[in-house]
Structure 1
Amino acid sequence: MAVNSHRRAAWRRPAGATSLDAAGITDPRLRQDFLTCRALHAEHGRTYFLATGLLPPGKRPYVWALYGFARYADELVDSLEAPDPDGLLTWGESFLDALRTGTVHDPVGRAMLTTVRRWDIPTEHVEAFLRSMRMDITRTGYATYADLEEYMYGSAAVIGLQMLPVLEPVSAEAACHARLLGEAFQMSNFVRDVGEDLDRGRVYLPQEDLDAFGVTVADLRAGRAAGSTPAAVRRLLAFEVERTRELYRRAEPGIAMLHPTSRDAIRCAYVLYGDILRAVERSGYRVLERRVAVPLPRRAQVALPALARARWARGQAVRWQQA
């Protein structure tokens, strides 16, 4: 009877509890804070959440916090139902104060502060991220790719740099590749989400690229309204897809520069985010009409072998430590 009761109690444990245990996070409120971030990660970042599950359990909560923090800020400016730009400004300043004082009052912020301190993440990375989020309040487009890169440094590259300590790089050169991979992920989203971003009043494809292919913002809006993607827009998107693939090619060597127990998780994300570009191509670049997605069978095809390799790598690491 006691054994059955123990099993029922174990079954009632929330998803993620084992990872919190492995990370040594024991304070009940802080555990709930990390689970709040986990929920944001699972709801809004399916690809990266899947990849995070390949990391050692003790590292996963810190990735939930990093993603949850980024997503919480993003929703304050990107939500189609209830954007709250003033809330972003207030919340962002409050968190920057918390980095100095150690006092934070919201669950996402508490989990993020714990993560920043645990992994010694530089404050300037957080500042750069919030600066880019503030840009989304007033900026609706980018004249050149160089202008867009300035935005992506804060919105994407520093996310890779924040992740890097958790992934335990074995080479200092990994930082450059982490920045590139963050930009590649961001550009994949920009290509896929042209239609949705128009609904938010923004165009992330550089104006110089639109001009080169004879596309205007009015053309994009007309295509969105009509539920069709003009041929010139499809040619523009094919160009952006190839540009983004070059970012992936330049970023790829950095995966081998991570701790062996981190490589399969990032490789999984690398492949599946890259598959967004293939999904766009398979749709005929019709991103103004619908939101393309990587099919579930393909996710499983990539993730399941990666899971087996990740478990083997963790086992090897434990045996090496015990030797």
Structure 2
Amino acid sequence: MKERSGYVICPKQRMNNSWIGQSVTSRSKSNLALSFFCLPREQKWAMTVFYAFCRVIDDIVDSTVLSLQEKKEGISFWKKEIERIYTSMPSSPLGKELREVVIKWNLPQDILQEIILGVEMDITQSRYKTFEELSLYCYRVAGAVGLISIEIFGCSHSISKEYAITLGKAFQLTNILRDVPKDSAYGRIYFPLEELEEHGISEKELLDLKWSLKIREFFRFQYLRAKHYFAKSSKLIHPSDRPKLLAAEIMSAVYRAILEKIRTKQFNVFHHSIRLSKSQKLASIFKVLVTNFFDRRREQSFSPPKKIVVLGGGFAGLSAAIELNNLGHDVVLLESKSMLGGRAGSFKHPRLGETIDTGQHVMMGCYHHTLGLIEKLGCCSKLFWIDPIKIAFLSNKNYSVLAAGQLPAPLHLLVALLRYSQLNFGDWVRAFSFLLSLLLADKPLEQETASQWLKRKNQSPSLIRSLWEPLCLAALNLPLEEAAAPLFYEVVRKTLLGKRKDLSLVLSRVGLGDLFSKECERLLKMCGSNIYLKSTVCSMEFENGYLKAVRTTEGKIFSGDCFISTLPWHTLGSLLPEKSPLKEHCRSLKQSPILSLYFWVDRPLTNEPVIGFLDSPVQWLFARNLFVDSSLLSFPLYSYVAVISAPPQDILSLSSKEIENMVWKEINRLIPSSKEARFCQGFLFKAIGATPKFDPESLKHRPGPATQWKNFFLAGDWTATGLPATIEGAILSGKTAAQHADSLPLTGAPPTILFEENNSEIPLKKIPL
């Protein structure tokens, strides 16, 4: 069988009269012939014969000499030959060798026949409409091979069968991705046609090996799906069978290395031969042997894949779901809205039809977790970078620019502050001294506000006005007088004291709802996870220190091994039992608003994508025409958004029209040329609960990922991430909660119900433990 057959590998030695198996296996020169060196002598012989059988039947269907009829006759012969192995005496030398293996290891006939049926599919079928159809093929040509292999390896635990099937699928998906050029020569397409259609890829493009960006992104998701199954297979290794699966794990390591090589070639299997060098293969094998050596000397735990229910489909929920998927778990995601994205969403303007966000969001180069997720999903082209940082500031005094220049850290920052004309030399010295103290880990007091801390550190009023106040409002959505100093310390440390690129501004060129939510949804569904939109959780059932189930307003009941809530604090608080500590924490958190005025004018107001306003109730002006994808804008109008962070009550009490007039008046005052422009349309988005209000008192009520319920974890920008309530905080919280759920050992019997609708129970497919 081709390398896609999975586990089988050539041995170095023959045993007894097994010359047929040895001859076929030796001639194959398969990549799979690597790991049998670690098998005992008899198992090595058995795997040699078994692999020869797989190789022979696979060569029949791939022959360029045999006619179609001859191929069918060859497959028919082997179907009958397998029957003869179990009923009488096979007629071929290889069949007789295989009979010895079957008798010694009591191999099931139906699995051997499944392997033949899988190979036969290459004669009768060259297209697969859905992944379910392809999964049957993967099971037959790879999973079934694994099932035979674990019998020869001597595995005894029932979950090892699930391991064999899952790892076989991972192998096969890797082969399919690697062998696109080879398979296209036979006119075969192993990718699900409905997935090709979803990505806008025709069969002809694939068969003609016509490379394009959309094919690269399609291959990226095939790679991510294969990685999911590799991770899942690792969790299905029972400690009692682990020593017996060394050969399989060596082959797994080699195949993972092949998969990663595809990634390093930017998924371009059309123009790159994806083969491992001898040193790369040896490195993969050595790593497994070393790991196995140390594993034998410590107690082995067993934590199989879990069914994990994630509440909320915002950025934190998506981050948690993707991390769980990467770790090999099965996910059920519940979202109350009709689309994913949560508070960081987008919508169409009712009259102009322009895509706008639920408030303008800004990322930075120090958003490592967010940018890592965006890169993983292939969404980097949707980002607009201001690197090195350059922000124009307008004030009553003058026009000044905070620009870093192309210098390594920390010189980029020092030069930026020297160039910033809002500061004098004394301010620069104070700022430098302050940042130096931060490098020496001079942290603020827990109960200090940011304002108290800065004054204690001798920061001048001009420094506070022109540097620290804008940064605090942008990051914490609070003025310095209210913001918790420890949180502001983290902001300064990560933005100003990191690498040069960390200080860059990053904006989305598309609506935030389209930044990576669709890609997350696509990947999760490709890996078998379930997403339920318009599913609002209305109650939770707690029992004996565990969260047993959640109920939605539609009457569905969802159970799982673990739960991760990414719901806003005020929503979650309403679902928790009275007098629980977490409920009290939720009640203690307050909210801070943000006002975003989207408006359209008939001519450009500035050639800078971002402008900061000093000495004004309006803090920021974004020129959307300069960074948003032009297809999303309303031409010939020019699109802008003005942001008011943490507006005081006197502004919040104004009507939308009054706020619009105030903002336009401020723009006219600070940008005099704007008086020549015509204000055409305005749309005010009020996010009253945009962020939690993290003053020193509220900061104590940020909960961590763990709760008083052992299988219930928290995520969200409002939880204790050590970061402000930003996109980065949300993404980090999701990953952290997922890792906590991953490390939780399963105790007791797993749930048997995935969800209940109209009192009708639907069984949850669960691996027996």
Alpha carbons 1:74, 1:133 under 8 Å: kept? yes
Kindly state the Cα deviation for residue 288 of structure 1 after the two structures are TM-superposed. Answer: 2.2
Aligned to 1:317: none
1:236 aligns with 2:257: no
Consecutive aligned runs of 4 or more in structure 1 exceeding 3 Å deviation: 79-84, 254-261, 304-314
234-243 or 282-291: bigger deviation: 282-291
1:275 aligns with 2:253: no
Kindly state the Cα deviation for residue 199 of structure 1 after the two structures are TM-superposed. Answer: 0.5
Equivalent residue runs for 1:1-323 within 5 Å:
15-17=12-14, 20=15, 26=16, 30-40=17-27, 43-46=28-31, 48-80=32-64, 84-223=70-209, 229-257=211-239, 259=241, 261-304=243-286, 306=288
Q: 1:104 to 1:78 in 2, by over 3 A?
A: same
Opposite residue 93 of structure 1, the aligned amino acid is K
Alpha carbons 1:34, 1:65 under 8 Å: kept? yes
How many angstroms apart in 2 are the aligned matches of 1:244 and 1:159?
18
Name the one with the larger helix percent: 1
Return the index of the structure with the highest Cα Rg: 2
What TM-score does the superposition give when structure 1 sets the normalisation length? 0.80
State the identity %: 21
Q: 1:263 to 1:154 in 2, by over 3 A?
A: closer
How many angstroms apart in 2 are the aligned matches of 1:193 and 1:283?
14
How many angstroms apart in 2 are the aligned matches of 1:15 and 1:134?
30
Kindly state the Cα deviation for residue 157 of structure 1 after the two structures are TM-superposed. Answer: 1.0
How many angstroms apart in 2 are the aligned matches of 1:202 and 1:257?
40
Kindly state the Cα deviation for residue 244 of structure 1 after the two structures are TM-superposed. Answer: 0.8
Q: 1:241 to 1:308 in 2, by over 3 A?
A: closer
| Secondary structure in structure 2 of the residue aligned to 1:278 | helix
- The higher relative CO (CA closer than 8 Å, separation ≥ 6) is in 1
| Secondary structure in structure 1 of the residue aligned to 2:208 | helix
Q: Deviations over 1:147-186 (max 9, x none)?
A: 1111222111111111111122242111111110111111
Q: 1:37 to 1:115 in 2, by over 3 A?
A: farther
How many angstroms apart in 1 are the aligned matches of 2:87 and 2:145?
23
| Secondary structure in structure 2 of the residue aligned to 1:254 | coil
Alpha carbons 2:258, 2:275 under 8 Å: kept? yes
Kindly state the Cα deviation for residue 112 of structure 1 after the two structures are TM-superposed. Answer: 2.0
5+ long unaligned stretches in structure 2: 1-10, 297-769
How many angstroms apart in 1 are the aligned matches of 2:235 and 2:192?
27
Kindly state the Cα deviation for residue 290 of structure 1 after the two structures are TM-superposed. Answer: 4.2
5+ long unaligned stretches in structure 1: 1-13, 21-25, 315-323
Opposite residue 163 of structure 2, the aligned amino acid is H
How many angstroms apart in 2 are the aligned matches of 1:311 and 1:79?
43
Kindly state the Cα deviation for residue 233 of structure 1 after the two structures are TM-superposed. Answer: 1.0
How many angstroms apart in 1 are the aligned matches of 2:37 and 2:24?
14
What TM-score does the superposition give when structure 2 sets the normalisation length? 0.35
Q: 1:136 to 1:239 in 2, by over 3 A?
A: same
Q: 1:313 to 1:55 in 2, by over 3 A?
A: farther
Opposite residue 74 of structure 1, the aligned amino acid is D
Q: 1:258 to 1:76 in 2, by over 3 A?
A: farther
Q: Deviations over 1:210-241 (max 9, x none)?
A: 01111111111232xxxx52211111110101
How many angstroms apart in 2 are the aligned matches of 1:265 and 1:15?
14
Kindly state the Cα deviation for residue 309 of structure 1 after the two structures are TM-superposed. Answer: 7.5
Opposite residue 39 of structure 1, the aligned amino acid is S
Alpha carbons 1:37, 1:108 under 8 Å: kept? no
Q: 1:257 to 1:174 in 2, by over 3 A?
A: farther
143-152 or 252-261: bigger deviation: 252-261
Alpha carbons 2:211, 2:270 under 8 Å: kept? yes
Opposite residue 20 of structure 2, the aligned amino acid is D
| Secondary structure in structure 2 of the residue aligned to 1:287 | coil
Alpha carbons 2:216, 2:268 under 8 Å: kept? yes
Q: 1:80 to 1:189 in 2, by over 3 A?
A: farther
Alpha carbons 2:35, 2:247 under 8 Å: kept? yes
Opposite residue 21 of structure 2, the aligned amino acid is F
Opposite residue 136 of structure 1, the aligned amino acid is D
How many angstroms apart in 1 are the aligned matches of 2:26 and 2:240?
27
How many angstroms apart in 1 are the aligned matches of 2:294 and 2:104?
26
Kindly state the Cα deviation for residue 307 of structure 1 after the two structures are TM-superposed. Answer: 5.3
Q: Deviations over 1:232-283 (max 9, x none)?
A: 1111110101011111111112334464542322221111111111111112
RMSD: 2.5
How many angstroms apart in 2 are the aligned matches of 1:243 and 1:87?
36
In the alignment of these two chains, the number of paired residues is: 284
Kindly state the Cα deviation for residue 56 of structure 1 after the two structures are TM-superposed. Answer: 1.9
Q: 1:81 to 1:262 in 2, by over 3 A?
A: farther
How many angstroms apart in 1 are the aligned matches of 2:266 and 2:119?
31
Alpha carbons 2:187, 2:207 under 8 Å: kept? no
Opposite residue 237 of structure 2, the aligned amino acid is I
Aligned to 1:23: none
How many angstroms apart in 2 are the aligned matches of 1:112 and 1:85?
21
